[in-house]
Amino acid sequence: LLAARRIGTTPAWTQRPLPRPPVATLRGLAARPAVQRARELFLLGRPGEARSEWEPVLRNADTATWRAAALLAADWNWYGQAIIWLARAGDWDDLVLRFPTPWRSEFENAAQDTQLPPAWLYAVARVESTLLPEARSGAGALGLMQLLPDTARGVASSIGYRLGDNSQLFDPAVNIRLGSVYLRQLLDRFGGNPVLATAAYNAGLRRVGEWLPAGTELAADVWIDTIPYSETRAYVRRVWEYMAIYESRLGGTAHGFEVERIEARAP
């Protein structure tokens, strides 16, 4: 990926459709009462209850069943569960299933409003929540782009948007809008440097300011490898990888969005 970006070419992605499980496996899974209940609960907008029916059926299943689960979930537009069970099955090459583009008008509208590449917004949401709009972290971050309620309220206030109770953050349209504005604010705070903004989205402004190189600037890829928090280091790498995949999926580029250097902090 880094080499392709360095020479200005499109990475040679390998897109291989998921191997189809036996028809009997797919039909058998779909016919299970717990799976039928999971589908109805998901379609009723109750994903937590749907998972409570769905996951016990799959927990100790074989690879063919996990593949069948991924295909069923994709058919229902339960994007996050399709991604999860593809990963459990060890299938990495079906990029269409692994990197879907739901809520496309919401992402594209947010990208237009904030003048950010939609591929970046998709990549952050994909890393943050696996595209599960009901996602909730242990730290209390909510929704697709995993916003802390206090952060979301500050962002909403800055654009004159009235945010009600925290449950609004599970609405993809609201979460995408506020998450994209927050990314824009971080980008502006770091002088238009999306690598630093991405790191700050995960680790916070103060820490990223402390991690700037001392004395001399660094190449962006080198700086990423110096991030002292392993979680943030892996996070930035994944966002950049996923952004490249989404550029390909969306048929566009993040032209002018590449970063070569990270400037040193002021003495």
Per-residue pLDDT tens for 120-164? 999 999 999 999 999 999 999 999 999 999 999 999 999 999 999
Predicted local confidence at residue 267, as pLDDT: 63
Question: Would you say residue 73 has pLDDT above 80?
Answer: yes
Predicted local confidence at residue 161, as pLDDT: 95
- Stretch 107-116: mean pLDDT: 97
Predicted local confidence at residue 260, as pLDDT: 77
Residue of higher predicted confidence among 126 and 256: 126
Q: Which fold has domain 101-262?
A: Lysozyme (1.10.530)
Catalytic: which of 106, 128, 217, 241?
Answer: 128
- Stretch 245-256: mean pLDDT: 74
Who contacts 48 (Cβ-Cβ below 8 Å, separation ≥6)?
134
Taking the C-alpha atoms of residue 50 and residue 100, their distance in angstroms, rounded to an integer, is: 21
Pairing of strands 261-262, 218-219: antiparallel
Torsion 124-126-128-134 (CA) sign:
positive
Question: Would you say residue 15 has pLDDT above 90?
Answer: no
Q: CATH 1.10.530.10 region(s) of the chain?
A: 101-262
Task: Indicate if 128 belongs to the active site.
Answer: yes
The alpha-helical segments, DSSP class H, found in 115-217 are 118-129, 149-158, 172-189, 194-203, 205-211
Average pLDDT, the chain: 92
Read off the pLDDT of residues 22-67 as tens digits, 9 standing for 90 and up: 899 999 999 999 999 999 999 999 999 999 999 999 999 999 999 9
User: End-to-end alpha-carbon separation of the chain, Å?
Assistant: 34
Question: Would you say residue 255 has pLDDT above 70?
Answer: no
Tell me which CATH homologous superfamily contains domain 23-91. Lytic transglycosylase, superhelical linker domain (1.10.1240.20)
Contacts by 170-175, CB closer than 8 A, 24 or more apart: 170/133, 170/134, 170/142, 170/143, 171/133, 171/143, 172/102, 172/103, 172/106, 172/133, 172/143, 172/144, 173/103, 173/106, 174/143, 175/133, 175/142, 175/143, 175/144, 175/145, 175/147
The confidence band for 248, taking pLDDT boundaries of 50, 70 and 90, is confident
